[in-house]
């Protein structure tokens, strides 16, 4: 019985190799493809040799690639000089490079998709298997294939240093803000903003204002042109919308909900809503599975660049494909995947989390890293950990029947992988579900030596 060959495109592979040998757009071809994209073993070897030539800063062409193949003992394996000359002879114009790249990559995607589907079909036909897990696994695998995940692709020291110097030059004259500005001057000062590729955990006890602070950041970022994607697992999109518009208009949200606003306040709310409507903001209140969150982000990225991802909150995420021994291990798996998502999409991921009661029995209720609920991996995977703490909040609870509408809070930078730890004073005005800086102009004359932290 003859085995059906896997999807491939011999002509596109020959043209891609020929373009490399003729020096037609070699940088583009080497950046867009990897050896495994080629079906033919000879073509994989030749492509890898061309990549090795480029890595030592030599010009990629017929003679340099032949010399590399000969040095590696692979020239005869690929059919000798005759095969390379035949590939080069197929190319007549530099414009063929783009089509060849598309043809090779498309065939590679078909091949990988076919193999993933074939393996899934075999598993689905096996009695006793869990259909939901298998179908979800296939969806994740296909999504990874189509996203052309290159997290394991190594880069040279030259590429790393070139990108690093470019980042340094780009940051000159920009002040201390190198990431997404939060709107809180001291937080931006100490962190440089929310940094691309980083996982930021914002944690607090219930009702301390986690969601309010997150939406303060979202409101400021989107009003300044950042495209934010918010996953709300706890509140409906309309509830978040009400919070946003009330905090922007500075109108008591309870009075809005109970219909006790006057004409002037109604006009201010309409003006705030119109202003916020122009923002690049998406709110997703239906995705609560981690795979759905990742898939939604990647789909959105196909249409428009993203600048900030927010998840409210970690404790409500589940993953039907994870079968861990306990919740701690599951949470650890999810924080690792959120960190991987931040790196892949190259945007900050701000994820909310609840704190345990570990410090509440003590006289000093100030939270510490060991209060992160359910998993020590949260601390390990996060690049930055922020806590909201308020002694006034606990004093308010101690006052029987007290209905204080605002209280003093501290935003604690408890961990920062690439910066100092610090306390930032804030005022939380509950009626607006909004935080305000206590001192917007206080700024240390000199950043202290934080390397001991």
Q: Which of 53-57, 245-249, 302-306, 363-367 has the highest mean pLDDT?
A: 245-249
- Is the pLDDT at 398 greater than 60? The verdict is no
- 87: closest CA among 156, 186, 5, 10? 10
CA quadruple 377, 378, 384, 385: dihedral positive or negative? negative
Percent of the chain with pLDDT over 90: 23
Q: What does the alpha-carbon distance between residue 203 and residue 217 come to, in Å, rounded to a whole number?
A: 15
For domain 10-146, give the fold: DNAb Helicase; Chain A (1.10.860)
Residue 420 — pLDDT band, cuts 50, 70, 90? confident
What does the DSSP assignment read for 150-175? -TT----HHHHHHHHHHHHHHHTTST
Task: State the pLDDT confidence band at 401, using cuts at 50, 70 and 90.
Answer: very low
Mean residue pLDDT of the chain comes to 81
Of 81-90, 161-170, 284-293, the least confident = 161-170
The arithmetic mean of pLDDT across residues 433-451, rounded, is 59
- For residue 389, list its beta bridge partners: 410
- Residue with more model confidence, 237 or 175: 237
Backbone angles phi, psi at 157, to 5 degrees: -60, -35
Beta strands in 189-327 (DSSP E): 199-204, 228-232, 281-284, 308-312
Residue position matching structure tokens 């939406």 = 215
Length of the chain, in residues: 453
Which tokens hold the place of 305?
């660049």
What is the CATH number that goes with domain 174-437?
3.40.50.300
CA gap 165, 149 in Å, rounded:
25
Q: d(Cα 183, Cα 222) in Å, to the nearest integer?
A: 11
CA distance linking residue 259 with residue 311, whole number of Å: 30
Between 410 and 356, where is the model more confident? 410
Lookup result for tokens 């950990």: 385
Q: What is the pLDDT of residue 121?
A: 80
Mean pLDDT of 86-93: 88
Q: What is the largest CA-CA distance in the chain?
A: 90
**Residues belonging to the active site:** 234
This prediction has a pTM of 0.63
H/E element holding 424?
strand 422-429
pLDDT at 155: 60
Write down the pLDDT at residue 447. Answer: 43
- Rounded CA Rg of the chain: 27
Q: Which residues does 427 contact at the CB level (< 8 Å), separation at least 6?
A: 406, 407, 408, 409, 435, 436, 437, 438
Strongest mean pLDDT among 35-49, 135-149, 316-330: 35-49
* pLDDT per residue as tens digits for the range 255-278: 888 888 888 889 988 998 998 888
Contact 203, 196 (CB under 8 A): no
Cβ proximity of 199 and 339 under 8 Å: yes
Q: Does the structure show a pLDDT above 80 at 182?
A: yes
* Secondary structure letter of residue 60 according to DSSP: P
pLDDT, mean of residues 34-44: 90
Contact 305, 345 (CB under 8 A): no
* CATH 3.40.50.300 location in the chain: 174-437
Query: What is the average per-residue pLDDT within 13-22?
Result: 92
CATH 1.10.860.10 residue ranges of the chain are 10-146
């Amino acid at each position: 019985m003859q085995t059906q060959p896997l999807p491939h495109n011999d002509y596109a592979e020959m043209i891609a190799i020929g373009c490399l040998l003729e020096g037609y757009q070699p940088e583009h071809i080497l950046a867009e493809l990897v050896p495994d994209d080629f079906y033919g073993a000879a073509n994989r070897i030749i492509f890898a040799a061309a990549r090795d030539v480029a890595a030592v800063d030599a010009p990629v062409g017929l003679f340099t690639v032949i010399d590399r193949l000969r040095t590696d003992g692979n020239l005869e394996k690929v059919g000798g000089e005759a095969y390379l000359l035949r590939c080069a002879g197929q190319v007549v114009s530099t414009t063929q490079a783009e089509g060849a790249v598309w043809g090779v990559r498309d065939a590679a995607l078909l091949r990988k998709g076919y193999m993933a589907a074939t393996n899934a079909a075999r598993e689905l036909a096996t009695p006793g298997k869990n259909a939901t897990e298998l179908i979800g696994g296939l969806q994740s695998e296909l999504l990874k294939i189509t996203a052309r995940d290159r997290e394991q692709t190594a880069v040279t020291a030259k590429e790393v240093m070139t990108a690093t110097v470019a980042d340094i030059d780009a940051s000159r004259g920009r002040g201390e803000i190198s990431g997404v500005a939060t709107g809180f001057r001291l937080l931006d000062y100490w962190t440089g903003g929310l940094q691309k590729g980083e996982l930021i955990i914002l944690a607090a006890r219930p009702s301390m204002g986690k969601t309010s602070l997150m939406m303060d950041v979202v409101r400021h970022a989107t009003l300044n042109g950042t495209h934010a994607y918010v996953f709300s697992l706890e509140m409906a999109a309309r509830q978040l919308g009400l919070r946003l518009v009330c905090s922007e208009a500075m109108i008591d949200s309870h009075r809005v909900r109970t219909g006790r606003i006057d004409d002037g306040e109604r006009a201010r709310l309409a003006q705030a809503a119109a202003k916020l409507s122009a923002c690049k903001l998406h709110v997703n209140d239906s995705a609560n599975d981690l795979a759905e969150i990742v898939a939604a982000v990647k789909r959105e990225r196909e249409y428009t660049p993203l600048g900030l991802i927010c998840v409210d909150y970690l404790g409500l995420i589940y993953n039907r494909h994870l079968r861990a021994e306990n919740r701690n291990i599951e949470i650890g798996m999810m924080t690792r995947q959120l960190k991987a998502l931040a790196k892949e999409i190259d945007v900050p991921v701000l994820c909310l989390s609840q704190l345990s009661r570990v410090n509440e029995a003590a006289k000093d209720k100030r939270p510490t890293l060991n209060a992160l609920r359910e998993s020590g991996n949260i601390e390990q995977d996060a690049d930055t950990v922020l806590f909201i703490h308020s002694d006034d909040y606990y004093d308010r609870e101690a006052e029987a029947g007290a209905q204080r509408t605002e209280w003093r809070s501290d935003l604690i930078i408890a961990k920062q992988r690439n910066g100092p730890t610090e306390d930032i004073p804030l005022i939380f005005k509950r009626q607006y579900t909004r935080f305000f800086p206590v001192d917007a102009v206080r700024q240390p004359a000199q950043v202290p030596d934080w390397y001991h932290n």
